[in-house]
């Protein structure tokens, strides 16, 4: 298990070093410092400083897009499109790039709304259909939510939210709950995460022992025993829940 975590951390570090190196090189070419990049890109000075110091593992598409614009290069060049977050581009279907573009455009829209209103919005994924244990996650719509009330340390790692539809996961999660998701690291023992196995999505507790187990909340549904970590895809860990 430690090797898996180490591999993921190495991948994050590798990608982070790539875009930091590229940004530094282009800043040096332009004779810019962090303050110049902040002013040209419209990204707050503190955010640029955190990014360049390696404190942010997963910057938003909007942040990288605005930086690439200000530096006069493409987003592809900045993140090295031959390898996007460790995934070889030739392995991606063409529709993946359309999805990436749409997500980036939505992030740009949210960032502009955040700037105009002085707030901080995050995208919320809404499944089209009731959620249950092992649901087929085949269609979504997207909304947004204001996360300004949270501390910067939490806001910096939030990737997105997922809205709970229906009461099949109650009493832990009820209809209308919004789970805020981070993918800053792999879950630790007894932490709740979102996992994809085949075509199904599971919101379960990650338990380490003699084997890895994904435990349900109701203790009646059979746990999933994972013999090979490569059999699951980790989508993110739940860092907090918004209940209205």
List the pLDDT tens digit at each of the 244 positions of the chain.
Answer: 445 445 566 666 777 888 888 888 888 888 899 999 999 988 888 888 888 888 887 787 788 888 888 888 777 777 765 555 445 555 566 666 666 666 777 777 777 777 788 888 888 988 877 677 777 766 778 888 999 999 888 888 898 899 998 888 888 899 999 999 998 888 889 999 999 887 788 899 999 888 889 998 777 788 999 887 778 888 899 999 999 7
pLDDT score at 111: 77
For 118, list phi and psi in degrees, rounded to 5. Answer: 70, 25
pLDDT score at 4: 45
pLDDT score at 117: 82
The Cα 111–Cα 179 span in angstroms is 20
Residue-range domains of the chain with CATH: 1-118 (1.10.260.40), 120-244 (2.10.109.10)
pLDDT score at 90: 53
The 3-state DSSP class for residue 64 equals helix
Tokens of 217: 């909340």
Question: Which residue from 201, 166, 163, 162 is spatially nearest to 182, judged by alpha carbons?
Answer: 162
Q: Which helix (H) or strand (E) holds 191?
A: strand 191-197
Question: Which residue from 176, 79, 77 is spatially nearest to 126, judged by alpha carbons?
Answer: 176
Beta-carbon contacts of 211 under 8 Å, excluding residues fewer than 6 positions away, are: 225, 226, 227
* pTM more than 0.85: no
The Cα 59–Cα 57 span in angstroms is 6
CA 109 to chain centre: 17
The Cα 155–Cα 150 span in angstroms is 6
């Amino acid at each position: 298990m430690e090797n898996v975590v180490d591999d993921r951390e190495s991948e994050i570090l590798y990608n982070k070093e790539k875009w930091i190196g590229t940004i530094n090189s282009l800043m040096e070419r332009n004779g810019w410092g962090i303050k110049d990049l902040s002013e040209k890109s419209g990204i707050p000075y503190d955010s640029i400083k955190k990014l360049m110091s390696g404190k942010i593992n997963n910057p938003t598409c909007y942040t990288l897009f605005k930086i690439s614009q200000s530096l006069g290069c493409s987003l592809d060049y900045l993140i090295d499109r031959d390898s996007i977050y460790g995934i070889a581009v030739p392995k991606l279907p063409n529709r993946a790039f359309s999805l990436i573009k749409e997500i980036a455009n939505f992030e740009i829209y949210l960032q502009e709304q955040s700037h105009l209103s002085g707030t901080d919005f995050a995208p919320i994924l809404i499944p089209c259909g009731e959620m249950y244990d092992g649901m087929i996650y085949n269609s979504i719509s997207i909304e947004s939510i204001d996360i300004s009330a949270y501390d910067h340390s939490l806001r910096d790692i939030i990737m997105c939210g997922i809205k709970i539809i229906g009461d099949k996961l109650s009493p832990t999660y009820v209809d209308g709950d919004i789970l805020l998701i981070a993918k800053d690291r792999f879950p630790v023992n007894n932490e709740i995460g979102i996992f994809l196995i085949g075509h199904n999505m599971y919101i379960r507790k990650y338990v380490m022992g003699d084997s890895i187990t994904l435990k349900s909340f109701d203790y009646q549904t059979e746990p999933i025993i994972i013999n090979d970590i490569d059999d699951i895809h980790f989508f993110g860990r739940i860092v907090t829940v918004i209940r209205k």
